[in-house]
Amino acid sequence: MIKKKLILEKTDNEFEINGVFNPGCYQEGDFVHMFYRAVCSTTNSSIGYAKLNKYNEVIERNSEPIIKRDFDYERHGVEDPRIVKVDDTFYIFYVAYDGKNALTAYATGSDLFNMEKKGIVSPTIKYSEVKKIIHGPQRYIDRADLYIKNVGEDILFWSKDVFLFPEKINGKFYMMIRVLPDIQIISFNNFDEINNDFWINYFFKGLNDSIVIECLDGRHVGGGCPPIKTPDGWLIIFHSVDSNRVYHTSVALLDLDNPLKVISRLKEPLFSPTEDWEKEGTVPNVVFATGTAIFDDRLCIYYGAADKRIGVAELSLKELLKKLC
């Protein structure tokens, strides 16, 4: 049984007067640190902060953004953060939007509240060039053509829903990424490796080897919450979008040692928009999961609702794993 609750809405503060949604979360004992996308009156985004207790009650909330738009490549938005801690370092990945291009940037630090921005981590390659080098099914070329048609020949590869696994696997970082309409995973030794040569030679030219979750029907799938390590495998909570543009929350289980191996995947969504506050908003019919916390057996999935509010879905982790195993 899944229980849903609306937990955060916009305020009259200018930076979040138009909506709050898609929160990145880090659990610390009985508390959840929530970094959420906040939209101001001009529709630009920054990142707000709230602290929740284990009952998902807000006990602290900043009146100013915790992450602002500092650079030209993010001048219109810092969006949709995901948070993990690998060893002793926090990593926040977020979408950097300049008004035309949506790229993935990241920040790191040993202190969650004093992060250093490291810049763009995703490819800075035009779709027109990606088309020439990509080794993958025709559906990837078709999506590239769609972006070029809608935005222009100079549009860069659109990079959203990118984040790290919360620990290294066999000594390597693992990163979930998305080339529409599917989800892919890559691995690397350190961030110094990540440049356009890496993306071209390792990723785009070998794309077939990186696909982990395919879009079986509908429009596309995309990464959601950072993976959860369980004894049965990596629990992957992602979003799937149907042909009517309704966003659902879906689930898969990946092998612990080789995350490119799918152990199982639920045929039906875990949950879908059913409440009025999920169906009505800036973008209707959206449940967009981006963070989790676990209290005993209670799995809390935090999500953006209709690009306007933040909700939480609560369910039994054991029962969910039974369905997947």
Q: Given this model, what pLDDT does residue 67 score? A: 98
With a cut of 90, say whether residue 217 has pLDDT above it.
no
User: DSSP 3-state assignment of 218?
Assistant: coil
Give tens-digit pLDDT for 302-315: 999 999 999 999 99
CA atoms within 13 A on the CB side of 81: 33
Question: What mean pLDDT value characterizes the chain?
Answer: 96
In what order do the strands lie in the sheet containing 298-305? 3-8, 309-316, 298-305, 287-295
Residue that is written with structure tokens 């690998």 in the block: 86
Q: Please, which pLDDT band fits residue 137 given cuts at 50, 70 and 90?
A: confident
Lowest pLDDT segment from 57-66, 103-112, 126-135, 282-291 = 126-135
Tally helices (H) and strands (E) across the chain: 5, 21
323 touches 265 (CB < 8 A) = no
pLDDT at 136 over 90: no
Q: Choose among 140, 151, 259: nearest CA to 204.
A: 140
Q: Which long-range contacts (CB under 8 A, 24 or more apart) does 235-243 make?
A: 235/320, 235/321, 235/324, 236/176, 237/270, 237/289, 237/292, 237/301, 238/183, 238/213, 238/289, 239/287, 239/288, 239/289, 240/215, 240/269, 242/217, 242/218, 243/217, 243/218, 243/219
Per-residue pLDDT tens for 149-208? 999 889 999 999 999 999 999 999 999 999 999 999 999 999 999 999 999 999 999 999
DSSP 266-301: -SS-SB---SHHHHSSSSSS-EEEEEEEEETTEEEE
Give residue-wise pLDDT tens across range 39-76: 999 999 999 999 999 999 999 999 999 999 999 999 99
Number of alpha carbons in the 13 Å side-chain half-sphere of residue 252: 23
Residue 28 pLDDT greater than 90, yes or no: yes
Token pair of 73 as six digits: 């490549």
Task: Give the per-residue pLDDT at 190.
Answer: 96
Query: Contact 322/304 with Cβ under 8 angstroms?
Result: no
